[in-house]
A and B are shown apart, each in its own frame.
Chain A
Amino acid sequence: GQNIDQPTEMTATEGAIVQINCTYQTSGFNGLFWYQQHAGEAPTFLSYNVLDGLEEKGRFSSFLSRSKGYSYLLLKELQMKDSASYLCAASSNTGKLIFGQGTTLQVKP
Protein backbone atom coordinates (compact mmCIF):
# COMPACT_ATOMS: atom_id res chain seq x y z
CA GLY A 1 0.00 0.00 0.00
CA GLN A 2 0.90 3.66 0.08
CA ASN A 3 1.30 5.48 3.33
CA ILE A 4 2.67 8.85 4.39
CA ASP A 5 2.97 9.65 8.10
CA GLN A 6 3.66 13.00 9.71
CA PRO A 7 2.72 14.49 13.09
CA THR A 8 -0.66 16.17 13.25
CA GLU A 9 0.34 19.24 15.23
CA MET A 10 3.47 20.99 16.46
CA THR A 11 4.07 24.16 18.44
CA ALA A 12 7.25 26.23 18.48
CA THR A 13 8.45 29.64 19.62
CA GLU A 14 9.25 32.58 17.38
CA GLY A 15 12.97 32.62 16.54
CA ALA A 16 13.45 28.93 17.31
CA ILE A 17 14.12 25.93 15.05
CA VAL A 18 11.57 23.20 14.35
CA GLN A 19 11.90 19.87 12.53
CA ILE A 20 8.87 18.22 10.96
CA ASN A 21 9.36 14.53 10.23
CA CYS A 22 7.75 12.43 7.51
CA THR A 23 7.95 8.71 6.82
CA TYR A 24 6.64 7.17 3.64
CA GLN A 25 5.93 3.84 1.99
CA THR A 26 4.97 4.19 -1.66
CA SER A 27 5.39 2.28 -4.89
CA GLY A 28 7.16 3.86 -7.84
CA PHE A 29 8.78 6.51 -5.62
CA ASN A 30 10.37 9.37 -7.55
CA GLY A 31 11.01 12.08 -4.99
CA LEU A 32 9.72 13.88 -1.92
CA PHE A 33 7.99 17.25 -1.85
CA TRP A 34 7.23 19.64 0.97
CA TYR A 35 4.42 22.15 0.56
CA GLN A 36 3.20 24.94 2.84
CA GLN A 37 -0.51 25.63 3.09
CA HIS A 38 -2.08 28.53 4.94
CA ALA A 39 -5.71 28.11 5.97
CA GLY A 40 -8.05 28.55 3.03
CA GLU A 41 -5.22 28.86 0.52
CA ALA A 42 -3.54 26.67 -2.07
CA PRO A 43 -0.45 24.62 -1.20
CA THR A 44 2.76 26.40 -2.20
CA PHE A 45 5.98 24.62 -3.09
CA LEU A 46 8.81 24.61 -0.55
CA SER A 47 11.25 21.89 -1.58
CA TYR A 48 11.84 18.76 -3.64
CA ASN A 49 14.36 16.02 -2.80
CA VAL A 50 15.28 13.27 -5.23
CA LEU A 51 18.67 12.21 -3.90
CA ASP A 52 19.65 11.41 -0.32
CA GLY A 53 20.92 14.33 1.70
CA LEU A 54 20.13 17.83 2.79
CA GLU A 55 18.85 20.61 0.52
CA GLU A 56 19.09 24.09 2.00
CA LYS A 57 17.06 27.06 0.81
CA GLY A 58 17.20 30.09 3.03
CA ARG A 59 15.49 29.46 6.36
CA PHE A 60 14.09 26.15 5.12
CA SER A 61 16.01 22.89 4.63
CA SER A 62 14.77 19.46 3.66
CA PHE A 63 16.41 16.07 4.12
CA LEU A 64 15.77 12.74 2.44
CA SER A 65 16.86 9.17 3.15
CA ARG A 66 15.47 6.88 0.46
CA SER A 67 16.71 3.71 2.16
CA LYS A 68 14.85 4.62 5.35
CA GLY A 69 11.76 6.10 3.70
CA TYR A 70 12.28 9.21 5.79
CA SER A 71 12.34 12.95 5.26
CA TYR A 72 12.26 16.04 7.40
CA LEU A 73 11.66 19.73 6.91
CA LEU A 74 13.74 22.07 9.06
CA LEU A 75 12.57 25.61 9.65
CA LYS A 76 15.02 28.05 11.24
CA GLU A 77 14.51 31.49 12.77
CA LEU A 78 10.80 30.89 12.99
CA GLN A 79 8.48 33.78 12.24
CA MET A 80 4.82 34.19 13.11
CA LYS A 81 3.94 33.96 9.41
CA ASP A 82 5.34 30.40 9.38
CA SER A 83 2.21 29.26 11.23
CA ALA A 84 0.61 27.02 8.62
CA SER A 85 0.09 23.41 7.61
CA TYR A 86 3.13 21.63 6.17
CA LEU A 87 2.40 18.84 3.72
CA CYS A 88 4.79 16.00 2.93
CA ALA A 89 4.12 14.37 -0.44
CA ALA A 90 5.75 11.46 -2.25
CA SER A 91 5.92 11.74 -6.01
CA SER A 92 5.39 8.74 -8.24
CA ASN A 93 6.99 8.24 -11.65
CA THR A 94 3.78 9.55 -13.25
CA GLY A 95 3.95 12.75 -11.25
CA LYS A 96 1.01 11.85 -9.02
CA LEU A 97 1.50 13.15 -5.46
CA ILE A 98 0.59 11.10 -2.41
CA PHE A 99 0.15 13.50 0.49
CA GLY A 100 0.36 13.03 4.22
CA GLN A 101 -2.39 14.49 6.39
CA GLY A 102 -0.32 17.61 7.02
CA THR A 103 1.35 19.00 10.14
CA THR A 104 -0.23 22.11 11.61
CA LEU A 105 2.54 24.29 12.99
CA GLN A 106 1.68 26.99 15.47
CA VAL A 107 4.37 29.60 16.12
CA LYS A 108 3.98 31.43 19.42
CA PRO A 109 5.60 34.74 20.38
Chain B
Amino acid sequence: GAGVSQSPRYKVAKRGQDVALRCDPISGHVSLFWYQQALGQGPEFLTYFQNEAQLDKSGLPSDRFFAERPEGSVSTLKIQRTQQEDSAVYLCASSPGSVEQYFGPGTRLTVT
Protein backbone atom coordinates (compact mmCIF):
# COMPACT_ATOMS: atom_id res chain seq x y z
CA GLY B 1 0.00 0.00 0.00
CA ALA B 2 0.92 3.63 -0.35
CA GLY B 3 0.79 4.55 3.33
CA VAL B 4 0.76 3.22 6.86
CA SER B 5 -2.28 1.11 7.59
CA GLN B 6 -3.74 0.12 10.94
CA SER B 7 -6.39 -2.36 11.94
CA PRO B 8 -8.92 -2.44 13.31
CA ARG B 9 -9.92 1.19 12.86
CA TYR B 10 -12.32 0.97 15.80
CA LYS B 11 -12.31 -1.42 18.72
CA VAL B 12 -14.70 -1.63 21.63
CA ALA B 13 -13.53 -3.80 24.51
CA LYS B 14 -15.05 -4.59 27.86
CA ARG B 15 -12.93 -3.75 30.85
CA GLY B 16 -10.57 -6.63 31.55
CA GLN B 17 -10.40 -7.91 27.97
CA ASP B 18 -7.15 -8.17 26.02
CA VAL B 19 -6.80 -6.35 22.69
CA ALA B 20 -4.29 -6.48 19.83
CA LEU B 21 -3.77 -3.56 17.46
CA ARG B 22 -1.95 -4.04 14.19
CA CYS B 23 0.24 -1.68 12.20
CA ASP B 24 1.48 -2.21 8.64
CA PRO B 25 4.23 0.33 7.98
CA ILE B 26 5.33 1.66 4.61
CA SER B 27 7.39 -1.02 2.89
CA GLY B 28 11.09 -0.65 3.59
CA HIS B 29 10.71 1.75 6.48
CA VAL B 30 13.21 0.88 9.18
CA SER B 31 11.72 2.78 12.08
CA LEU B 32 8.30 2.26 13.61
CA PHE B 33 6.71 4.25 16.42
CA TRP B 34 3.55 3.84 18.52
CA TYR B 35 1.77 6.81 20.08
CA GLN B 36 -1.31 7.14 22.26
CA GLN B 37 -3.60 10.14 21.71
CA ALA B 38 -6.27 10.99 24.24
CA LEU B 39 -9.20 13.16 23.17
CA GLY B 40 -8.15 16.79 22.76
CA GLN B 41 -4.48 16.08 23.42
CA GLY B 42 -1.38 15.64 21.35
CA PRO B 43 0.00 12.15 20.72
CA GLU B 44 2.20 10.68 23.47
CA PHE B 45 5.11 8.40 22.65
CA LEU B 46 4.77 4.77 23.66
CA THR B 47 7.55 2.78 22.01
CA TYR B 48 10.02 2.67 19.10
CA PHE B 49 11.43 -0.08 16.90
CA GLN B 50 14.34 -0.07 14.55
CA ASN B 51 13.78 -3.12 12.38
CA GLU B 52 12.84 -5.88 14.84
CA ALA B 53 14.67 -4.34 17.79
CA GLN B 54 12.62 -2.45 20.35
CA LEU B 55 15.02 0.36 21.22
CA ASP B 56 12.81 2.47 23.47
CA LYS B 57 9.75 1.42 25.45
CA SER B 58 9.93 4.18 28.01
CA GLY B 59 6.47 5.50 27.13
CA LEU B 60 4.51 2.31 27.77
CA PRO B 61 2.24 3.27 30.70
CA SER B 62 2.25 -0.08 32.46
CA ASP B 63 3.31 -3.70 32.11
CA ARG B 64 -0.13 -4.39 30.60
CA PHE B 65 1.17 -2.84 27.40
CA PHE B 66 3.38 -4.91 25.13
CA ALA B 67 4.59 -4.30 21.56
CA GLU B 68 6.42 -6.49 19.09
CA ARG B 69 7.74 -6.37 15.55
CA PRO B 70 9.17 -9.87 15.08
CA GLU B 71 10.20 -9.65 11.43
CA GLY B 72 10.97 -5.96 11.25
CA SER B 73 7.81 -5.11 9.33
CA VAL B 74 4.30 -5.49 10.80
CA SER B 75 3.97 -4.48 14.44
CA THR B 76 1.38 -5.39 17.06
CA LEU B 77 0.54 -3.43 20.18
CA LYS B 78 -1.13 -5.60 22.79
CA ILE B 79 -2.97 -4.34 25.83
CA GLN B 80 -3.86 -6.85 28.51
CA ARG B 81 -6.72 -6.49 31.00
CA THR B 82 -7.89 -3.22 29.45
CA GLN B 83 -8.95 -0.39 31.75
CA GLN B 84 -11.15 2.63 30.99
CA GLU B 85 -8.14 4.92 31.04
CA ASP B 86 -6.76 2.98 28.05
CA SER B 87 -9.50 4.49 25.86
CA ALA B 88 -7.69 6.57 23.25
CA VAL B 89 -6.58 6.61 19.63
CA TYR B 90 -3.46 4.52 19.06
CA LEU B 91 -1.33 5.88 16.24
CA CYS B 92 1.42 4.08 14.43
CA ALA B 93 4.07 5.92 12.42
CA SER B 94 6.90 4.68 10.24
CA SER B 95 10.03 6.38 9.01
CA PRO B 96 12.74 5.50 6.48
CA GLY B 97 15.35 6.80 8.91
CA SER B 98 14.81 8.77 12.06
CA VAL B 99 13.45 12.07 10.79
CA GLU B 100 10.06 12.46 9.10
CA GLN B 101 7.38 10.12 10.39
CA TYR B 102 4.37 9.02 8.35
CA PHE B 103 1.31 8.34 10.46
CA GLY B 104 -1.40 5.77 9.98
CA PRO B 105 -5.11 6.55 10.51
CA GLY B 106 -5.07 5.18 14.04
CA THR B 107 -7.16 2.69 15.98
CA ARG B 108 -9.80 4.21 18.22
CA LEU B 109 -10.06 2.02 21.33
CA THR B 110 -13.05 2.40 23.62
CA VAL B 111 -13.08 0.44 26.86
CA THR B 112 -16.52 0.09 28.43
Task: Report whether A48 and B43 are in contact in the complex, using a CB–CB cutoff of 8 Å.
Answer: no
Residues of B near A97 (CB, < 8 A) are: 33, 35, 43, 45, 101
CB of A96 within 8 Å of the partner chain: yes
Q: Among the listed stretches A10-18, A62-70, A71-79, A99-107, which one makes contact with chain B, having 4 or more residues with CB under 8 Å of it? A: A99-107
**Among B41, B56, B100, B106, contact of A96 (Cβ-Cβ < 8 Å):** B56
Interface residues of A: mostly helix, strand, loop or mixed? strand
Residues of A near B66 (CB, < 8 A) are: none
Name the residue on A nearest B30 (C-beta): A95
Give the CA-CA distance A43 to B3 in the complex, in Å. Answer: 13
Task: Report whether B99 and A31 are in contact in the complex, using a CB–CB cutoff of 8 Å.
Answer: yes
Q: Which residues of A contact B (CB under 8 A)?
A: 4, 31, 33, 35, 41-45, 48, 87, 89, 91, 93-102
A33-B100, A42-B103, A94-B98 given; name 5 further pairs at CB < 8 Å: A45-B102, A95-B31, A95-B97, A96-B33, A102-B42
